[in-house]
Structures are given as C-alpha cells and as structure tokens.
Structure 1
Amino acid sequence: MDKRALETVEVETAFLVRRATSISTLKKIGDLDRSAYLLLHQIASHGSAGVKALADEFRLNISTVSRQAASLEQKGYVTRIPDPTDRRAYSLEITEEGLHELQAHKQARMKRIGNLLRDWSDEELETFGRLLTKFNRTFLDEES
C-alpha cells in the first residue's frame, strides 16, 4: 500500500468530517440533526425496524438509538408498531410528517452539496460517489 496515498486519505477524511460537521452546525437544516436524518432515511428506505436492528445497523448501543427514536416519536416523525409475537417489542415506522421532514431535509442537503460540487463533471461525481460508497462499506467489513 502506498504510504503517501494512505496519508492523503487519512488527513482528507479528517478534514471532510470536520468541515461537514462545521457546516451542519453553522447552517442547521430544519429540525433534523445527522442522527435523526440517518435513522429516518434508514426506516424510509428499508421499512419499519426495531431499535435493536437500527442499533446494529449504525453500530450504536440500544440505549442511544432508543433515545433518538423517542425524540423522533415525540416530534411525530415515527410511530411505534407493536410486534404481534412479542407484546414488549415494537418496530418504528416513519409517519407522513416524518417523510415530509426527511424529504425537505434531503433536498436542502442535496442543494448545499450540489453547490459545493457545481464545477465537477458528471464523471467526477459518479467516480466520487462510487468510491465514497465503497469506502463507507469498508467500515461494515472492518467491524464484522
């Protein structure tokens, strides 16, 4: 492995995280923080899910996801669906209000990112998206 290339990826990843966090803190979009956005996106994309499944997906502990889910439920963005086989268990389902908030948030994020990447070619965007997806998936392999 090329050490210089690895060093570039390491430091550029650190800058990416810092700058992305800085932008989202300074220019908050709507009523969703990053955790809420990702939970709603997961539920909207893959269907209703229990807290344990969401915790496993995001590599978080159950109590963290439970707190985040309770906040989403309080805002009316998700609702609990009882598990018919285990009365103590439930799944979370996105509501119409949650879907609306998610879509509005996503559009604002895409506009912001689109502005940042406006000078990139379609080919560069395709390549970056593909490599970023590949990079994110390596974390799943690492934690297995």
Structure 2
Amino acid sequence: MNEHSLETIELEMAVLVRRINSLTSDFRRLDRSAYLLLHQLSIEEASGVKTLANNLKLDISTVSRQTAALEQKGFVSKVPDPQDGRSHFYQITDLGSKELIEYRQERLDKMVTLLNGWSDEECQSFGDLLKKFNDALMRN
C-alpha cells in the first residue's frame, strides 16, 4: 500500500466520522449505541450483557448502563437465564422492535438521498468495502 493511499484513507475516515456524527444527530430518537444494541438483540433471541459486550466490542459496564437505559424506555426487557437463576438475558420488546424499524427506515431514507446518482455496482462495491473494513476493525 502506498503512503498517499494510506493518508487519503486516514483523512477520509476522519471526515466520514465527523460527518456521520453530524448527520445522525438529526435522528434524535435513538443514539448510535441504542441503535446498535437494539439491532444486535433483534438478530438474537436473547443475550446476556457479556455476550453483547463481546459482540459490540464494548466493556460490560458500558453495556450494562446502555441496556438499563433501554429497559427504562421499554425497548428491552430482562428474562431469567433458564440455566442460572441468578443471571438474566435481555431481549428486545415489541416497542423496541418498532422503534428500531422506524429509526432504521429514517437512516435508509437518508442513504437513498446521499447515494442518489450512484450506480448499483458502486453501491455494492462501497458496501462490500465498508463491510471488509468493519470486519478488520472487529479483529483488532
């Protein structure tokens, strides 16, 4: 990899993060952490704090705080662990699913606007490269 390419990627990633944060501040209903936690719970039956923390690359105390906030809003509920009565799992509620779906649609609508004029091939390549980059981040 040449140095110019690396410098371009580094700068464009910094710009992307700033612009994404600015863009998503318009979506007041869920913050990024709530969105990602609800998404994770939507693809799993139920999950414990440790599993969520591992899957999201966060520490357990952060996930505990975030899930408690989601529970207060009625977006997740605690269910007892059938194998260990002392612990519990979180699962997404109907209200949490509804909120996730509506929020995701807002984000998708914004993506449609941002990607207007891009070909299907460009969108596919961009998505594939973003996924590859995110996968590399998860391994580190």
The interval holding the TM-score normalised by the smaller chain is over 0.9
TM-score under structure 1 normalisation? 0.94
Aligned-partner residue type, residue 47 of structure 1: E
Q: Indicate the residue corresponding to 2:71 in structure 1.
A: 73
**Distance in 2 between residues matched to 1:24 and 1:126, nearest whole Å:** 22
Q: Indicate the residue corresponding to 1:28 in structure 2.
A: 27
Q: Indicate the residue corresponding to 2:134 in structure 1.
A: 136
**Distance in 2 between residues matched to 1:130 and 1:60, nearest whole Å:** 24
CA RMSD of aligned residues (A): 0.9
Structure 1 residue runs of 5 or longer lacking an equivalent are none
Q: Indicate the residue corresponding to 1:52 in structure 2.
A: 50
Q: Indicate the residue corresponding to 1:39 in structure 2.
A: 37
Structure 2 residue runs of 5 or longer lacking an equivalent are none
Q: Indicate the residue corresponding to 1:105 in structure 2.
A: 103
Q: Deviations over 1:103-138 (max 9, x none)?
A: 000000000111011111111000000000000000
Q: Among the aligned pairs, what percent are the same residue? A: 49
Q: Deviations over 1:40-61 (max 9, x none)?
A: 0011023311011111111111
**Distance in 2 between residues matched to 1:45 and 1:128, nearest whole Å:** 24
**Cα offset, 1:2, TM superposition:** 1.2
Q: How many residues align?
A: 140
TM-score under structure 2 normalisation? 0.96
Runs of 4+ off more than 4 Å: none
Q: Indicate the residue corresponding to 2:14 in structure 1.
A: 14
